[in-house]
């Protein structure tokens, strides 16, 4: 059993919770490869995907995860719902609750929106990305991918690179990998590095190369192009020159280092196409882990005991 009713982030998750989710996800992975991708585990349960922001992989993988476990999944997108009529998040939550749903997967542009929703619902709330706060299932799928390749997470050096300030993926990964015994380094342009990040359990490297050097895991973050309008870096060209990851920079990491990216990738900006499609890249494996991890989370939060 998980120690919590909702999955709002990894800040307050225990190491045991994370291990339970990863182990459960491992056991679900083979379902995805079956010819008939359906087990009856969550039959009769209903999951709503409440997406206030555009998303391809997260929403699709949550939807598939629910369907593979036989849950009924409903997609709610803000552009075609009462949100357009000005309905508040709280009222939407109440409305859905009365329809008898068991879990809500929420993606929202406001930090804290998932937690806010959990105050107003009895159903399990799963955070699929809240503003610039957390994105716990992304971190879990990253950990699952790395653990599968490396056998363990303990003692690995993990470099998280790019726009840390605006990245919910970075926050969840810092908490997650640090709890699992990794040395987490962060680096990026100073204008995209939040204050006192070290208090979260990451080491702030002085530059990109220092973070990458000797790393087992190199994780590039997506540059949110809308940030560029705010002038946080001069141009994509200059970003890729000084802060992008290319073959040369990746070669500073261990020879068997893994390259991760939460997607979608701006090819040639955060990472070069060459390494994205190269042997060290596990970007496609991440997607598959995503479905397994989300199956595990849905299962554990909607009644399953796990393992």
Q: Binding residues for another protein, per CB under 8 A?
A: 11, 88-90, 108, 110-113, 115-116, 130-134, 168, 171, 194-197, 199-200, 230
CB-nearer residue toward another protein: 75 or 110? 110
Cβ closer to another protein: 225 or 305? 225
Smallest distance from the beta carbon of 253 to another protein, in angstroms?
26
Distance CA 219, CA 212 (A): 9
Which residue's CB is nearer to another protein, number 120 or number 254?
120
Q: How far is the CB of 151 from another protein (least distance, A)?
A: 31
- Beta-carbon contacts of 251 under 8 Å, excluding residues fewer than 6 positions away, are none
Q: Nearer Cβ to another protein, position 12 or 284? A: 12
H-assigned helices in 4-99 = 15-33, 57-68, 89-98
User: Nearer Cβ to another protein, position 3 or 273?
Assistant: 3
Q: What are the b/e assignments for 285-300, b being 16+ CB within 10 Å?
A: bbebbbbbbbbbbbbb
Task: For residue 140, give the H/E element and its range.
Answer: helix 136-150
Q: Which residue has the tokens 């919910």?
A: 168
Tokens of 87: 């309905």
Least Å distance between CB 42 and another protein?
29
Nearer to another protein, 171 or 222 (CB): 171
Count Cβ atoms within 10 A of the Cβ of residue 36 and give its class: 0-12 exposed, 13-18 middle, 19 or more buried.
exposed
CB of residue 110 to another protein, shortest distance in Å: 4
**In 10 A of CB 79, how many CB atoms?**
9
Query: What is the closest distance, in whole angstroms, from the C-beta atom of residue 270 to another protein in the complex?
Result: 20
CB of 113 to another protein, least distance (A): 5
- Check: CB of residue 222 under 8 Å from CB of residue 264: yes
């Amino acid at each position: 059993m998980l120690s919590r009713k909702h999955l709002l982030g990894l800040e307050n998750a225990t190491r045991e919770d994370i291990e339970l989710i990863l182990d459960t996800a491992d056991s679900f992975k083979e379902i995805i490869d079956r010819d008939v991708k359906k087990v009856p585990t969550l039959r009769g349960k209903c999951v709503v995907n409440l997406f206030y922001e555009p998303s391809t992989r997260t929403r699709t993988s949550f939807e598939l995860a629910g369907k593979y476990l036989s849950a009924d999944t409903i997609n709610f997108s803000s552009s075609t719902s009462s949100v357009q009529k000005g309905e508040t998040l709280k009222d939407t939550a109440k409305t859905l609750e009365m329809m008898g749903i068991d879990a809500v997967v929420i993606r929202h542009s406001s930090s804290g929106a998932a937690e806010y929703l959990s105050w107003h619902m009895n159903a399990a709330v799963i955070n699929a990305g809240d503003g610039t706060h957390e994105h716990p299932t992304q971190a879990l799928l990253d950990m699952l991918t790395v653990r599968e390749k490396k056998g363990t997470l303990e003692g690995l050096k993990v470099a998280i690179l790019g726009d840390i300030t605006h990245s919910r993926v970075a926050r969840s990964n810092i908490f997650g990998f640090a709890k699992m015994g990794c040395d987490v380094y962060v680096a990026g342009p100073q204008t995209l590095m939040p204050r006192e990040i070290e208090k979260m359990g990451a080491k702030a490297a002085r530059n990109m190369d220092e973070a990458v050097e000797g790393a087992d895991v190199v994780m590039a973050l997506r540059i949110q192009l809308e940030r560029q309008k705010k002038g946080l870096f001069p141009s994509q060209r200059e970003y890729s020159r000084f802060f992008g990851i290319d073959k040369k920079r990746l070669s500073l990491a261990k020879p068997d280092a893994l390259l991760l990216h939460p997607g979608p990738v701006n090819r040639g900006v955060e990472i070069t196409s060459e390494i994205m499609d190269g042997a060290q890249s596990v970007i496609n494996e991440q997607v598959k882990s995503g479905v397994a991890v989300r199956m595990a989370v849905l299962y554990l939060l909607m009644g399953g005991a796990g393992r």
